[in-house]
Amino acid sequence: MGTIETIHHADMFGQAVRPSARRGYVRRLVRMATSLALWIDDLMERRRSRLALLEMTDDQLKDIGLSRCDAHREGIRPIWD
Alpha carbon of residue 39 to chain centroid:
3
The neighbour count for residue 68, using CB atoms within 10 Å, is 14
Q: What does the alpha-carbon distance between residue 49 and residue 45 come to, in Å, rounded to a whole number?
A: 6
pTM flag (> 0.75): no
- For residue 10, list its beta bridge partners: 16
What is each CA distance from 47 to 33, 34, 50, 56, in whole angstroms? 21, 20, 5, 15
pLDDT tens, residue by residue, 14-43: 666 566 667 788 899 999 999 999 999 999
**Averaged pLDDT for residues 36-61:** 95
Residue 6 pLDDT more than 90?
Answer: no
